[in-house]
Structure 1
Amino acid sequence: MIVSALATAVGVNLGLTVLLVSAYSLLRRRPPFVSVYAPRRPYAPLESWLAAAWRRSEDDIHAAAGLDGVVFVRIFVFSIRLFAVVAVVGVGVLMPINFMGDQLRLIDFTDLPSKSVDVLSISNVQDGSNKLWLHFSAVYIITGVACYLLYYEYRYISDKRLEYFMTSKPLPQYFTVLVRAIPITDGGSVSDAVDKFFKEYHSSTYLSHTVVHQTGKLRRLLNETEIMWRKLKNLKYVPHRPSTDNPPKKFLGLFGRNNPGKYQKRLEDLEENVRMEQSDATRRREIPAAFVSFKSRYASANAIYIRQSDNPTEWQTEHAPDPHDVYWPSFSTSFMERWISKFVVFVASVLLIIVFLLVVGFIQGLTYMDQLEAWLPFLRNILEIAIVSQLVTGYLPSVILHFLSSYVPSIMKLFSTMQGFVSVNGIERSACNKMLRFTIWTVFFANVLTGSVLNQLNIFLDPKEIPERLAVVVPARHLSLLHMW
């Protein structure tokens, strides 16, 4: 990639950013969007809104979004602090030193836009030059700053978490354990098995239990009720709605107005069906899972971290999820089903990474004009146009990769759902771990190796050469890698 292509990509991204911010600033003031953006201040200028958001303290964030919101904001604070140091060291010190090197070629300032971005990397520093010590020192400085910031943020968040637990009231889930894979004897019930087991082995700390029943119909009714309630709420807050008892109906479901009375009647019917289904829930089929409550947190912790049976596939205990965080469909899965699902998800994740590696390998070749002309010789005349070559090598790869990558989180969340987690938080955490591994493989190894060693695949025949090859390739590819992702 040449400097002009990189500058073109940066210019396009900045232009799109300004365009989207301007569109948001204008559209948020229009009547149709009043209920979405600041309904009480629809005509407030964008600048004052940004200033008010910037002045919010952590106490305000904690009151509005809880401890999770504070931790989420601290992630951005940590990133800004770290990358500020990296920007000062990299742009202010290392980049000028790399630019003044002569390892690749003598720098011609009059023809800078046509130079490769490699002149800004460590590849342009003379072998054995004392300037390399500046790079080594920069690595140690950035690593030290990163470790200190991580330690500071970890201590800060830990103190906040302890403060939250000390000041908050004890909640039922703190004393409750989820027990799965409950063995049932012939003619017995899940409730009797749980009561007998915990009265025998935890007689002094056992309090009560609640067996999970199969309530798929109830969950569907609750989901439909929530959707209908949101529709009715949005209809009530639509501005400038004429007050009439017979609003015009929609034509083909596209034009006209919705009737709030129809949604209100449907919501009342759903609420009645939910109450009837809840009254019959205890008579539904029992699932071999139960919420067991203890008299103290210490007793519940012992039940979680101590194996309850010689058979590891029975009497499995884990933390009880929060009431609003439960994912009910996973309760009916058995131990073997969860184990098989984990294996299938692992294989599917590996296949997804392999497929994405092939795609990245092709897209990465777009940053090399000579390789692109070799692959597609019939486009050589078009690629010789300056603006076209700059867009293809500098902007098109990042657009394609970001477009394809936008579907990966949903796929990873689907994989995590298949693994049998009983909480939405567990599903999201597992999906984040999968995304981290996916990013490491596709962003780092794929971008580095497929772009620079496309014609040297024989290095994989000798794994001992991979570390040496990475040491040579990474410095030459880091600018393009950061730009594309």
Structure 2
Amino acid sequence: MATLNDIAVGAAINILSAFAFFIAFAILRIQPVNDRVYFPKWYLKGLRFSPLRGGAFINKFVNLDFRSYVRFLNWMPAALQMPEPELIDHAGLDSAVYLRIYLTGLKIFTPIAFLSFAIMAPVNWTNDTLKGSNLTYSDVDKLSISNIPIGSRRFWTHLVMAYAFTFWTCYILKKEYEKVASMRLHFLASEHRQPDQFTVLVRNVPPDPDESVSENVEHFFLVNHPDHYLTHQVVYNANKLSHLVNEKKKTQNWLDFYQLRFSRNESKRSMVKTGFLGLFGNRMDAIDFYTSEIERLSKEISFERDRISKNPKSVVPAAFVSFKTRWGAAVCAQTQQMRNPTIWLTERAPEPRDIYWDNLSIPYVSLAIRRLISGVAFFFLTFFFMIPIAFVQSLANIEGIEKAVPFLKPIIELNFMKYVIQGFLPGIALKIFLIFLPSILMLMSKFEGFNSISALERRSATRYYIFQFINVFLGSIITGTAFQQLDTFIHQSANKIPETIGVSIPMKATFFITYTMVDGWAGVAGEILRLKPLIIYHFKNFFLVKTEKDREEAMDPGSLGFNTGEPQIQLYFLLGLVYAVVTPVLLPFIIVFFALAYVVYRHQIINVYNQEYESAAAFWPDVHRRIITALVVSQLLLMGLLSTKEATQSTPLLITLPVLTIWFHFFCKGRYEPAFVTYPLQLFLLFVSSSAGSQEAMMKDTLERAREPNLNLKGFLQNAYVHPVFKGEDDSDSDAATEDLKEEPAIVPTKRQSRRNTPLPSKQSGPLNPLLPEVDHDY
């Protein structure tokens, strides 16, 4: 168990590490040679140019202005100066709202920490309960609720504070939900014309013996949406082609590498082995080998493109259908198209850069099975990860380490080593064990078949949060308590074990303090250094870059990584809300994390990250829901803790607290969530009657037609949802392939001749109104 000295040593190590990262960043960022690593967003926007183009030779690589080294922390105020509206325009609403999660944490925990240390800390400290017990504890634990005797009237203080903290948290959550909803509505109302505003994704198109998928889709929408349908793009199974294109790109990089090496030393030609991973097979000239590989891949790509464009089996039963108006797309996306609810499924189309193309070819009927398999796999992953969690908790127990490795006992017994082991090692060990988890969870999400990157990230974030809650939070508490109080468990009666656990849970705050310092302090500071992208950029720049375009592709701006960042933030919300009443000493460490992360990530969003997509803050309901979950968990744990303390008078009054919190959640859900789940054109349905809302929903279309009467909307939407491999720039025949895919006429003659004026229902499209029973018509 970490003592006050252990925490002090851990804090010193992490503060020095964070300061070292900031110093290194301050020096590296002002070097001209690193400009594209630390300011890639401005290069991608075309607002910044390379400092390597002119000036003295040494000035191209090293900054000789010594005054800039003195102002090494000026990036912090610079990161805070950009106003939020300008930030939204610069980086998008997703990035701006993501930063508001950190601000929400500061708004919630700063007043809570003040009250906790002003009221709770003296109440807990002025007791001697732990001193008279046989439990293992440290001086830090005297600030926890564990130091209050059983049945004490002081528990009324904790009850009142629980109500105060809950009401304050709910107040902030409501204000933030209202603010973010307003920002989303304003952003969507002022957003420029985008393809996804006019387009829906149609899945599970039923087969028709008389028509191809393309003909079937066109005929269905001419029949059922004759006044609004504009065009469509069927979805091709181009996964193999995509794999070939990526393989060719990697091969081209190797060819560029060996050609650049040869140009620098023409007296020596590089040789490679042509077998598995370049370790086996015959030796061959590297340039000749990769040139032949590119020729082979080019032929395969051309053949595969030709096969896809001519083989009907390459078309999957899905399509992107575009409409003349946003209103028409909104109606289609939110209505059931057929009496059979399993076919002609429509949803709002993701924006083109948000689509995860590989999953569009997955049969719709297999999605439920895939999600069941993924859920079972996630259960076993969560269950078996308790093993490394138990190992991490064993590191926090000096006696356990000495028993496991007795030959290290003389070293472990040194005071400094004790401080390092208990104040730093558990946190860094847990961080290491969690490194590969986000990648595993993202693979599971891809296996489930979600069709957009945003959906993949939100699904992965949900599972990461569940994993953190079960393993990192509950697992650390349970296993840590078992290790620390093992001797007490053995030598006491079974009916005393719940009481011992209740006393021990608040004392686990010391472990979470060490983890917060490693992950929330040093980890966040390490993020700004961008060591991995720095190394990769200079490697590519030295070995692969030939042109300015190559240099731009060598940049790796990255993105926020919602699937990893948001669940990690939620862990700190959980820890702060749970320990605010029982062990307030944890709160200052969490506040430092929120403040530091806000500054660092604001800088990264302004200068570095380039978001892959824009969801207009659609993730905020998830953020709100998880904070509410943390609040309810804190209340239930406090209720259980007080029951073990035999606070019979105050404990029953806690029962209403989770009930009120859940009611508040449903109130916010009904009041604000529709703005995040309905189609953007129905913004005003949240505030006004449905008839007035329909008029407002069409307002943007009306204004656009008035401003641009000659707008060629079909031309704007024609290629928006063509698979990227058909419009890549790497292959000379890509334009021709795209034209082949567009050669299908707008109206294809079939046996039933789909015509705009007299649409005849097909076997699959059903009657003119698919939700009404069929009746006979006299034409």
**TM-score bracket, shorter-length normalisation:** 0.7 to 0.9
Q: Aligned ranges for residues 160-175 of structure 1 at < 5 Å?
A: 160-175=183-198
Q: Aligned ranges for residues 406-425 of structure 1 at < 5 Å?
A: 406-425=435-454
Name the counterpart of 2:233: 210
Q: What secondary structure, in the 3-state scheme, does the structure 2 residue paired with 1:104 have?
A: coil
| 1:98 correspondence with 2:107 | no
CA distances 1:61-89 after superposition (whole Å, capped 9, x unpaired)? 11210111211121121122223223323
| 1:428 correspondence with 2:457 | yes
Partners in 1 of 2:183 and 2:269 — Cα distance? 55
Partners in 2 of 1:166 and 1:457 — Cα distance? 62
| 1:10 correspondence with 2:11 | yes
Of 397-406 and 162-171, deviating more is 162-171
Name the counterpart of 1:60: 86
Partners in 1 of 2:500 and 2:328 — Cα distance? 54
Select 1:326's aligned residue among 355, 360, 365.
355
Name the counterpart of 2:176: 153
Partners in 2 of 1:22 and 1:54 — Cα distance? 19
Of 319-328 and 296-305, deviating more is 296-305
Partners in 1 of 2:431 and 2:317 — Cα distance? 43
Name the counterpart of 2:21: 20
Distance change (3 Å), C-alpha of 1:279 and 1:87 = farther
Deviation at 1:182, TM superposition (A): 1.5
Q: What secondary structure, in the 3-state scheme, does the structure 1 residue paired with 2:450 have?
A: coil
Distance change (3 Å), C-alpha of 1:433 and 1:229 = farther
Give the partner amino acid of 2:507.
A
Deviation at 1:379, TM superposition (A): 4.1
Root-mean-square deviation (CA, aligned residues, Å) is: 4.0
Deviation at 1:220, TM superposition (A): 4.5
Distance change (3 Å), C-alpha of 1:96 and 1:60 = same
Q: Aligned ranges for residues 69-88 of structure 1 at < 5 Å?
A: 69-88=95-114
TM-score w.r.t. length of structure 2: 0.52
Comparing both chains, which one has the higher relative contact order based on Cα–Cα distances under 8 Å and sequence gaps of 6 or more? 2
Q: Percent identity?
A: 30
Deviation at 1:417, TM superposition (A): 1.1
Aligned residue pair count: 456
Tell me if structure 2 keeps the 8 A contact 1:85–1:142. no
Partners in 1 of 2:443 and 2:309 — Cα distance? 30
Deviation at 1:141, TM superposition (A): 2.3
Tell me if structure 2 keeps the 8 A contact 1:103–1:125. yes
Deviation at 1:224, TM superposition (A): 6.9
Select 1:290's aligned residue among 319, 328, 336.
319
Q: Aligned ranges for residues 28-427 of structure 1 at < 5 Å?
A: 28-38=29-39, 43=63, 44-45=68-69, 46-105=72-131, 115-186=138-209, 188-216=211-239, 218-220=241-243, 247-248=264-265, 282-284=309-311, 285-427=314-456
Give the partner amino acid of 2:110.
A
Distance change (3 Å), C-alpha of 1:439 and 1:163 = same
Name the counterpart of 1:239: none
Name the counterpart of 1:110: none
Deviation at 1:398, TM superposition (A): 0.7
Partners in 1 of 2:420 and 2:108 — Cα distance? 31
Name the counterpart of 1:257: none
Q: Which runs of 5 or more structure 1 residues have no equivalent in the other structure?
A: 108-113, 233-244, 254-265
Deviation at 1:123, TM superposition (A): 0.5
Give the partner amino acid of 1:416.
S
TM-score w.r.t. length of structure 1: 0.81
Of 192-201 and 6-15, deviating more is 192-201
Of 201-210 and 58-67, deviating more is 201-210
Q: Which runs of 5 or more structure 2 residues have no equivalent in the other structure?
A: 40-49, 52-59, 256-261, 272-292, 517-779
Q: What secondary structure, in the 3-state scheme, does the structure 2 residue paired with 1:74 have?
A: helix
Select 2:505's aligned residue among 474, 479, 483.
474
Q: What secondary structure, in the 3-state scheme, does the structure 2 residue paired with 1:143 have?
A: helix
Give the partner amino acid of 1:118.
D
Partners in 1 of 2:123 and 2:479 — Cα distance? 28
Tell me if structure 2 keeps the 8 A contact 1:103–1:126. yes
CA distances 1:35-93 after superposition (whole Å, capped 9, x unpaired)? 32356597444222222112121122112101112111211211222232233233444
Select 1:483's aligned residue among 491, 508, 514.
514
